[in-house]
Amino acid sequence: MSELVSIALFLASVVIYAWKAGRNTWWFASILTVLGLFVVLNLTLYASNYFTGDGINDAVLYTLTNSLTGAGIGKYILPGVGLVLALILVFGGLGWVLRRRRHHPHHLGYSVLALGLALASVDASPAFRQISELVKSQSRDGDPDFAAWYKEPSKSIPNPKLNLVYIYGESLERTYFDNNAFPNLTPELGKLKDESIDFSHTMQLPGTDYTIAGMVASQCGIPLFAPFEGNASASVSSFFPQNICLGDILKNSGYQNYFMQGANLRFAGKDVFLQSHGFDHLYGAEELKATVPDPSYRNDWGFYDDTVLDEVWKKYEELSKSGQRFSLFTLTVDTHHPDGFISRTCDRKKYDIDGKANQSFSAVTCSQEHVAALIEKIKASPYFKNTVIVVSSDHLAMKNTAWDYLNKQDRSNLFFVIRGDQPQQEVMGVKRSTLDNGATVLDILGGDNFIGLGRSSLSGQSLAEVFLNMKEKVLAWKPDIIRLWNFPKAIKDFTIDEKKGMMAFSGSHFRLPLLLRVSDNRVEPLPESEYSAPLRYQLADFAPRDNFMWIDRCYKMAQLWAPELALSTDWCVSQGQLGGQQTVQHVDKAQWKGKAAFKDTLIDMERYKGNVDTLKIVDNDIRYKADSFIFNVAGAPEEVKQFSGISRPETWGRWSNAQLANEVKIEYKDPLPQKFDLVITAKAFGPNANKPIPVRVGNSEQTLTLGTEVTTTTLHFDNPTSSNLLTIVPPDPQTTNEGNILGHSPRQLGIGMVEIKVVKSEG
């Protein structure tokens, strides 16, 4: 109903302004802005609903404010392009309609009415209500009984005897196993489920409805509610640092914890969560490239399930033979929305429903074959008697091509346990949630029967049974759960670990580089990631009086406030106000201790504008004082006018990149000397090694030969034409992800340059 009201208000605003208000630039801009906000909000709601089926929720906010590295975006490109085109058309159409009567005199009353209706349409829209509720839920006081129900388990298991294999099936909910609704969809895995301890009533709660949230729920017994202030959850280097989770307990009990998946570990901060809670051995898309038989056999997200589960079996055999206590967790990906992926080794590659093939169901029937095959191999091995196998969905399926069929059923999550030590076949219909999964596993392994808000379904009572409306209760506890992040509100003393690239203050640890906006009772971290702007661009958006602390490589801030550090790749700390005073401190110890020192200073707007303009200079336009071109810092020496064909700075130097240009060209402001030596410190990439590399200055050409290790070569040039252009032609650029930023397109590398120096020679 509210949606219809908001649309009616929107249309009324458009009609009244377009036909009655007349001409006025300010009112036109105001009305268009508010109506445009309405459009953006509703498109955001539509896009979010496309992914979640539940509108704008915590899953959307968490995913957008965390690492998107490795996201399988291939199937979303077309809908994304459609949304952008829709946005352009709607804004263009709105502007055209609103200006229809621009030649008529302005009428203030109708303009005010139109603006009021536009604001009311935004307020009445479901998208605005959902976002408002999410913001409010971050700042409520919480529920006073949270501490009574949140229970911290013992840190270890007294006498562990069993190894653990834990299989997360991506979106593989229990509903798919209903043979009456979906005949013969899951015959192999369904048979194993029927021979197990099968928990048939596992509900999904808020904050547990996407992959990383489902993992946190099942291992820590809490929903994933994160602080969304300035991407806080993306910058913090620990994940619920105060919580004791299943992985922590296993590690403390002598287990070696392994996690293996086909997708990239960095997506949504999965690597940070696992490393924070006991997992020392992680394998994702990047790590598996060197071990899988066919690294090119991949889908949009990473490696197919048949590939990954074969690696899981190899690891299970290896670890079992070693005799060490271990847990081996894995996560499938082929059943990921919107329609899944079909691996090439499936016996059944197609599932028909209503007389037509359905891709999501086909992916389910294919993937469950591979999960069942892994379990059968483990059961047939001599090590099974010491093993507990757990199979669970990470969450209910999101909006996929099976969505309409699933929603006709009574949906629940999958969770069943196969014990090698005590075979047991039983359907347990107790009301429970995915928060109880970790506690149930811990109970089986000989530990406590509770973790956080989770309780063992074998010897305890789920809070889903205790509370009549567990979903409402979880939302009431949301502020209490957010506080478990121990996210700091102030900064006084801090420590920088130079080697680890970490900063610690107020009990929390953050990855570097990092930018902090600091106010009286708030510290807002702004991390630098592959999907956010460089920190200096983010700092340029600060207000003149905003207190900032910027920890980054010295050369990045040197051009502003410390020119003597222009060539330093060490860490530096800058703090102050863009419109006032700033300081730069050089981190010159492995463990460097500093203090936050902010004070009100006289704001100079000219100084502020100069700082902002300098911060916004693009990397290639930065210039520094030096007698050579140093490639491991941004920019070039002052003598260089421009350059091309060179990739970004890395710790050692820079690669040539044929994606940018086939040749490396360095154009100097003035002609190069008539006679000079060109001293090049460089290396070659792959097949470029030991091949002749032409180096030209004007009409003169010399040949450079490089190996794969860094060497220094001196070339002698005569320059009778007074050329100011140096050209280097890598012979065989190679397309590769070597040294690349995760999520970026492959580069075409030729030679790696450390330093180039022009030395004038006499005679």
Residue 530 sits in the same domain as residue 497: yes
Residues 655, 746 contacting (CB under 8 angstroms): no
497: helix, strand or coil: strand
Q: Is residue 57 predicted with pLDDT exceeding 90?
A: no
Among the ranges given (47-61, 315-329, 397-411, 486-500), the one the predictor scored with the smallest mean pLDDT: 47-61
Global model pTM greater than 0.75: no
Read off φ and ψ for residue 298, nearest 5 degrees.
-140, 160
HSE-CB for 708 with a 13 A CA cutoff: 3
Q: Is residue 744 predicted with pLDDT exceeding 70?
A: no
Q: Is residue 233 predicted with pLDDT exceeding 50?
A: no
364: helix, strand or coil: helix
Looking at residue 33, its amino acid is T
Burial class (CB in 10 A: 0-12, 13-18, 19+), 590: exposed
What's the pLDDT tens digit per position in 609-635? 999 999 999 989 999 999 999 999 999
Structural domain contains residue 267: yes
Average pLDDT over residues 255-272: 89
Residue 651 sits in the same domain as residue 752: yes
For residue 481, the Cα-to-chain-centroid distance in whole angstroms is 21
Question: Where does residue 752 fall: left (phi above 0), alpha (psi -120 to 50 degrees), or beta otherwise?
Answer: beta
Residue-wise DSSP of 16-27:
HIIIII---HHH
Angle between helices 437-444 and 211-220 (to 10 degrees): 40
Q: Looking at residue 61, what is its pLDDT?
A: 57
Residues 276, 257 contacting (CB under 8 angstroms): no
Structural domain contains residue 488: no
- Could you give the CA distance from residue 307 to residue 367 in angstroms, rounded to a whole number? 11
Instruction: Read off the tokens for 470.
Output: 């567990």
Number of structural domains the chain divides into: 4
Nearest to 130 by CA among 264, 2, 263, 266: 2
Structural domain contains residue 181: yes
Q: Which of 579, 595, 617 is the last residue of a domain?
A: 617
Looking at residue 29, its amino acid is A
Q: Three-state secondary structure along 418-444? A: EECCCCCCEEECCCEEHHHHHHHHHHH
Average pLDDT over residues 331-335: 96
Give the number of other CB atoms < 10 A from CB of residue 423. Answer: 13
What is the torsional sign of CA 531, 492, 135, 274?
A: positive
Structural domain contains residue 49: yes
Residues 389, 165 contacting (CB under 8 angstroms): yes
pLDDT tier, 560 (very low <50, low <70, confident <90, very high otherwise)? confident
Residue 536 sits in the same domain as residue 430: no
Q: Looking at residue 72, what is its pLDDT?
A: 47
Q: Is residue 317 predicted with pLDDT exceeding 60?
A: yes
Residue 196 sits in the same domain as residue 322: yes
Q: Looking at residue 9, what is its pLDDT?
A: 76
Average pLDDT over residues 8-14: 73
Read off φ and ψ for residue 487, nearest 5 degrees.
-80, 125
Residues 592, 496 contacting (CB under 8 angstroms): yes
Q: What angle do CA 144, 147, 150 make, to 5 degrees?
A: 130
Burial class (CB in 10 A: 0-12, 13-18, 19+), 20: middle
- Could you give the CA distance from residue 583 to residue 585 in angstroms, rounded to a whole number? 7
pLDDT tier, 77 (very low <50, low <70, confident <90, very high otherwise)? low
- Could you give the CA distance from residue 31 to residue 19 in angstroms, rounded to a whole number? 14
Average pLDDT over residues 705-733: 95
Looking at residue 743, its amino acid is G
Q: Is residue 6 predicted with pLDDT exceeding 80?
A: no
Selected residue with higher pLDDT from 532 and 170: 170
Residues 574, 584 contacting (CB under 8 angstroms): yes
Residue 375 sits in the same domain as residue 248: yes
Average pLDDT over residues 591-612: 90
Share of the chain above pLDDT 70, in %: 85
Q: Is residue 434 predicted with pLDDT exceeding 80?
A: yes
656: which strand partners?
A: 646
Query: What letters, b where the CB count within 10 A reaches 16 and e where it falls short, cover 340-357?
Result: bbbbebbeeeebebeeee
Q: Is residue 73 predicted with pLDDT exceeding 60?
A: no
What's the pLDDT tens digit per position in 111-167? 778 777 778 877 777 777 776 766 665 556 666 899 999 999 999 999 999 999 999
Residues 462, 433 contacting (CB under 8 angstroms): yes
H or E element that contains 175: none
What's the pLDDT tens digit per position in 661-676? 999 999 999 999 999 9
Looking at residue 189, its amino acid is L
Selected residue with higher pLDDT from 398 and 751: 751
- Establish whether the linkage from the previous residue to 513 is cis, with ω within 30° of 0: yes
- Could you give the CA distance from residue 685 to residue 747 in angstroms, rounded to a whole number? 12
What's the pLDDT tens digit per position in 514-544? 999 998 888 888 877 655 678 999 999 999 9
Q: Looking at residue 391, what is its pLDDT?
A: 98
Instruction: Read off the tokens for 736.
Output: 């590769």
563: helix, strand or coil: helix
Structural domain contains residue 608: yes
Instruction: Read off the tokens for 531.
Output: 């999907």
What's the pLDDT tens digit per position in 337-360? 888 999 999 999 999 999 999 999
719: helix, strand or coil: coil
Q: Which of 117, 139, 161 is the last residue of a domain?
A: 139
Query: What letters, b where the CB count within 10 A reaches 16 and e where it falls short, cover 538-565?
Result: bbbebebebbbbbbbbbbbbbbbbbeeb
Burial class (CB in 10 A: 0-12, 13-18, 19+), 12: middle
- Could you give the CA distance from residue 211 to residue 195 in angstroms, rounded to a whole number? 27
Instruction: Read off the tokens for 536.
Output: 């200096």
Q: What angle do CA 35, 50, 172 make, to 5 degrees?
A: 160
Residue 197 sits in the same domain as residue 231: yes
Q: Which of 582, 617, 652 is the last residue of a domain?
A: 617
Structural domain contains residue 728: yes
- Could you give the CA distance from residue 689 to residue 683 in angstroms, rounded to a whole number? 8
pLDDT tier, 244 (very low <50, low <70, confident <90, very high otherwise)? very high
448: helix, strand or coil: coil
Structural domain contains residue 211: yes
Q: Looking at residue 71, what is its pLDDT?
A: 46
Query: What letters, b where the CB count within 10 A reaches 16 and e where it falls short, cover 63-83?
Result: bebbbbbbbbeebbeeeeeeb
Residue 198 sits in the same domain as residue 332: yes
Residues 153, 442 contacting (CB under 8 angstroms): yes
Residue 503 sits in the same domain as residue 597: yes
Q: Calculate Rg over the CA atoms of the chain.
A: 30
Q: What is the mean pLDDT of the chain?
A: 87
- How much helix, strand and coil, in percent to the nearest 5, is found in the chain? 35, 25, 40
Q: Is residue 394 predicted with pLDDT exceeding 80?
A: yes
Structural domain contains residue 722: yes
pLDDT tier, 732 (very low <50, low <70, confident <90, very high otherwise)? very high
Looking at residue 474, its amino acid is V
Residue 685 sits in the same domain as residue 602: no
Residue 609 sits in the same domain as residue 655: no
Looking at residue 580, its amino acid is G
CATH of the domain at 676: 2.60.120.430
CATH of the domain at 416: 3.40.720.10
Residue 609 sits in the same domain as residue 640: no
Residue 316 sits in the same domain as residue 435: yes
What's the pLDDT tens digit per position in 576-587? 999 998 999 999
Q: Looking at residue 153, what is its pLDDT?
A: 97
Residues 327, 258 contacting (CB under 8 angstroms): yes
Instruction: Read off the tokens for 545.
Output: 């009086």
The terminus-to-terminus CA distance of the chain in angstroms comes to 89
Residue with tokens 């110890």: 589
Q: Three-state secondary structure along 109-174? A: HHHHHHHHHHHHHHHHCHHHHHHHHHHHHHHCCCCCCHHHHCECCCCCCCCCCCEEEEEEECCCCH
Range of the domain at 664: 623-760
